[in-house]
Structures are given as structure tokens and as C-alpha cells.
A and B are shown apart, each in its own frame.
Chain A
Amino acid sequence: MDEVKQDKPDILRKRISGLLFGMAFGFLLQKAGVSDYDVLIGALRLTDLTVMRVILSAILFGSIAIYVLGKFGMARPHTKPTNYASNIMGGLIFGLGFGLWGYCPGTGAAALGQGSWDAAWGIFGMFIGSYIYALATPTLKKLASIGDRGKLTVPELTHINPGVYIIITSIMITLLLVYIHQY
């Protein structure tokens, strides 16, 4: 699956698959109700647990699916790099924006699709924010060197077998979902 050389049909296939996956993603986000400002702000005020239910269910099923696919050699691992300073600082800045806009990048696009016009202004802001980041990249390289751990996974950090980790987290997430079901 290595990208050695891209010819035209490959680019076209990639674009069409991206579009179809996006359509499925947007459809599910909207039907789940997480493209609604009120639901998302409710998640941040801890008054609406829809977002928590959606994310936890996604992690539960996704982690099992990707683990099985990996075992059969059908999926290459795409572990996100761990960098304590960047993850925490970036996460907090993201959170401030999340609270102000009320949407996140995926649900904001979905909100635009359902006609929540306030989402369009945040999308415009995201184009500006991305550009500011590109301008600031050289300065941010310093931050990126603090607490840089590379592609670290929880099983590697805790020395647990990945299969055991999947079983433990699956049970914990399921119990959590059952517990919050009453609220």
C-alpha cells in the first residue's frame, strides 16, 4: 500500500473514497444528534451525555475492529505521535475554541450541512487559525520537543499485552456506557 507513484485513476479513486467516507461520517454525526450546538454545549456543561455515548461507542467498536484487522494484517497501524506538552497545550487551546464556537471540526462541517449558519463562520475562522499555525510553526518546534515520546501506545507505556488492553478497555467502556445510560 506504499505510495510510490500516483497516477490519475489512483488519485480519482482516493478522492471518491474520501467523499463516500465523509458522506457516511456526516450522515451518522447528524443522525446521532451531535451536529447540534445545544447537544455539544450540553456535553461541555455536563447536562447532555449524547456526545459521550457516541464517542465511547465509537472507541469501543473501533478499537476492536482495528485490532482484529491488524491481527489479520489488513490494516497498517496509524498511531498518533505522543507529545505531552503539545497534546496538553494544543488540547486546551482547542477546548477554548470548542467552547466559543460550540462545534468541533467534524461536527462543525456537519452543522453547516444541516443549515446551522453559525457553523460557517467558525469554519472560516478555522482557515485563518490553520494559517496562523503555519506561520508560527518554527516557534512551536520548541514546544514540540518537550515531552516528546514518539508513537507511544498505552500498552507500550504500561507493559500490557495489546490484546489484554483491548479486553480491559472494552469492559470498562461498556460498564461506563451502562452506568451513564440512566442519566
Chain B
Amino acid sequence: MKILFLLTFLCIPDYIFADGAVGDLMAERWSPYVSGALIGILAAATVLVSDKPLGISTAYARISGMLGLIFAPGLTKRLQYFKETKPGIEWEVMLFAGVIIGSFLAAWSGDTIHANLLPHTWAQRFGDDSSALRIIAAIIGGVFIAFGARTAGGCTSGHGISGAMQMSVGSWIALIFFFVGGMAVAIPIFGR
């Protein structure tokens, strides 16, 4: 019964948006509509199969706790947050590892492996010798994004996709403010 449901949903997007090269593993890109539709169905499938909403930011918190147990075990064990969100190789951590592997397979099959530090848009704005600046921006950005995700209760996948599709009011608000905050940084730096 579960499998029948999955198959039905997997067939729908192909009928509606038959414009992308979906299914062609060698293609560089798939249609954003079909890929998006499949991601939405995936987010329903994780609830169906694993009873877990698709959300990845908790993985970072669990890994952070694991690192904390290595470098500052006494302090980490006292923190209330890590008593609630247990450090360890839970479902989300495996999801995180899977995303890295899955993306590698997609890039490898489509011949789009980057193997670079500076993205095109960044190098155009800050020059080819801006590696140190890029690393600093990435680390600070990572600190803010994790702190924000924990405060808001989820990230683009947990709130933006899983939360919004489950009709949560807070998820729609968070999704809008993710992009409002992002625009407030990206537009002054890179222009429109």
C-alpha cells in the first residue's frame, strides 16, 4: 500500500511538467519544476517511511554536540539543549551524510563537479585573490545561519518545505524572513 502511494505520486510530476530531461542521469540539469516536485514528494515519503519531517539543520546541532563532547565534554554534558537534542548519529546526521554523497553522484553523473573555492559571482565582485575573504564570510555566515535556524526552529528544508507543506503558520513566516534577511545582505553586496 505504501509503495503504491509512492509510485502514484512519483508519476504525477512527469505528466504535468514534461519539459525537463528528468530521468536522464547524464544531464547537467533537471527541470526545476520536476526536481522540486520530487523533493516535495520526498518530504512526504520521509514522514510515511521514517515518521520524520525532512529537515537537515538538526544534523548540524547533533554533530556540533558530538564535537563538543570531544573538545569540552564537561560543559557540553551540562548544556540543557544537548539533553533535548541528543548528540549522536541519528536519522538527521545520516540524512546530512546522504545529501553530500547524493550530490556528489549527481555532479559526477552530469559532469558538473566544481572542485573550486571561489564561485563565479564572488570572483567577479571580489577578484580571483579573495580566498581569505570568502572563507571568513563563509564561516561567519555559517555561524549566523545555524544560530538563526535554531532560533527559528528550522531551515529552508525543515520550515521552507516540510513545515510550509504541513500548513504551519510559523514555517511560512520563517521562510519569508529567510529570504528577506538574505536579500538585505546580497543586494547591497552584489547589486540587482
Contact = CB atoms under 8 A, between A and B. Distances in A.
B168 A80 contact: yes
A125 B162 contact: no
Nearest to A23: B102
Contact of A130 (B2, B95, B98, B150): B150
Given A44-B187, A87-B174, A100 B60 contact: no
Contacts of A46: 183, 187, 192
B168 A114 contact: no
From DSSP, what is the main secondary structure of chain B's interface residues? Answer: helix
Given A53-B33, A54-B32, A95 B182 contact: yes
A137 B81 CA distance: 7
A55 B161 contact: yes
A179 to B, nearest CB: 13
Given A19-B97, A23-B99, A153-B168, A28 B152 contact: no
Contact of A113 (B47, B95, B101): B101
Task: Give the interface size class of chain B.
Answer: 35 or more
Given A25-B98, A75-B48, A102-B141, A129 B187 contact: no
Interface string A27-43: 11111111111100111
B146 A149 contact: no
Contacts of A53: 32-33, 36
B145 A126 contact: yes
Given A28-B42, A95-B177, A130-B146, A157 B169 contact: yes
Nearest to A2: B51
Interface string B171-182: 111111111111
Interface in A54-105: 54-63, 65-66, 68-69, 72, 74-84, 86-102, 104-105
B170 A21 contact: no
A58 B138 CA distance: 27
A163 to B, nearest CB: 11
A97 to B, nearest CB: 3
A138 B67 CA distance: 21
A126 B183 contact: no
A126 B32 contact: no
Nearest to A72: B5
A55 B36 contact: yes
Given A17-B50, A32-B36, A82-B173, A127 B181 contact: no
Nearest to A113: B103
Given A78-B166, A94-B148, A104-B145, A20 B98 contact: yes
Contact of A129 (B17, B41, B144): B144
Q: Which 6 A-B pairs have the closest CB atoms?
A: A95-B181, A22-B98, A125-B142, A99-B185, A91-B177, A90-B152
Interface of B: 1-2, 5, 9, 12-13, 17, 27, 29-30, 32-54, 56-57, 59-61, 63-65, 67-68, 76, 79-82, 89-107, 110, 112-122, 134-135, 137-187, 189-192
Interface of A: 1, 14-38, 41-47, 50, 53-63, 65-66, 68-69, 72, 74-84, 86-102, 104-119, 121-138, 140, 143, 149, 151-155, 157, 162, 165, 177
